[in-house]
Chains A and B, each alone.
Chain A
Amino acid sequence: MIAIEFLVNFTLLGFLLATALVISRTNRLFQSVMLFGIYSLLTAALFVVLDAVDVAFTEAAVGTCISTILMLSALSLTGSRREVAMHRKSPALALGVSIALGAALAVGIMDMPEFADPNAPANLHVAPYYLTESVSEIDIPNVVTSVLASYRGYDTLGEVVVIFTAGIGVIALLAGRTGKRDED
């Protein structure tokens, strides 16, 4: 069973790498949009394999659905089909920076605790307190809900304000457009 998890992880990562390479090599914009859809499906599957189901959910909704539609809208508004070939200098500098950044990140990962280690600092700081005390303090049986709605209440309020503002912006844009059409 460990072997099959290993296999799924590495196959999906290999697919992700192949897709990213093809996206970076193509100059046809529609093909890039299609491949970005595949890329985010693969990312979402990897997030589920890593037990981050909520992140995977967002990735699937935003990456596969919304951003594909957004890219297609941009393509249909600009009418361009191919990436404009720019006279670039040799890609050595960009490649060097990318490899240096990747190496720095790999070195950084070595300091991190093992995946799902119960003794990791993140699991020892306030998490045991929430798990043992939240039911008696907040009186909500679900710990995640009490963390989001009470312990991190101001944070959640800020997020709600951001989403509310975005909603007002979208409504203002769409309502303005239909009003203009009615006048015509």
Chain B
Amino acid sequence: MMLSAALIAILVGMALLLIRAFVGPTIYDRILAVNNFGTKTVLVLALYGFVTERPDFLDIAIVYALCNFIATMAILKYFEYGDLGHVGKQPEDEKL
């Protein structure tokens, strides 16, 4: 029962995040909404596993979190440099 309540609470949280991702207004709201939505998906999968009494899929939920992290890194790099191939600032370049 507690697990079901937690699952419903997280679904409500997902709805709020979706609204934030839809209406914005700034780009950073959307990035944060997508990143948080990934975390919420991981939580839903973990809780759903326990609610249906098959928590074997917990490790898959963790891999989702890793994928989501890589995507967020790529998005932030795109915004910092406007280019995904940018190598960033190297410490050696500053010395030369």
Binding site for B on A (CB under 8 A): 1, 4-5, 7-8, 11, 15, 18-19, 22, 30-31, 34-35, 37-38, 41-42, 44-45, 48-49, 53, 56-57, 60-61, 64-65, 68-69, 72-73, 75-76
Interface range, B side: 35 or more
* A44 contacts across to B, CB distance below 8 A: 41, 64
Option from A7, A41, A48, A72 in Cβ contact (under 8 Å) with B74: A72
B8 contact set on A, CB distance < 8 A: 4, 7
Which residues of chain A are within 8 angstroms of B70 by Cβ–Cβ distance?
Answer: 65, 69
Q: Which of B27, B33, B37, B51 is in CB contact (< 8 Å) with A30? A: B27
**Cβ–Cβ contact A41 & B38, under 8 A:** yes
Pair count A-B, CB < 8 A: 97
Rounded to whole angstroms, the CA-CA distance of A69 and B75 in the bound complex is 7
A19 and B41 CA atoms in complex are apart in Å by 15
Residues of B within 8 A of A (CB): 4, 7-8, 11, 14-15, 18, 21-22, 24, 27, 30-31, 33-34, 37-38, 41, 44-45, 48, 51-52, 57, 60, 63-64, 67-68, 70-71, 74-75, 78, 82-84
10 A–B pairs (Cβ distance < 8 Å), ordered by A: A11-B15, A30-B30, A31-B24, A42-B41, A64-B68, A65-B70, A68-B74, A69-B71, A72-B74, A76-B78
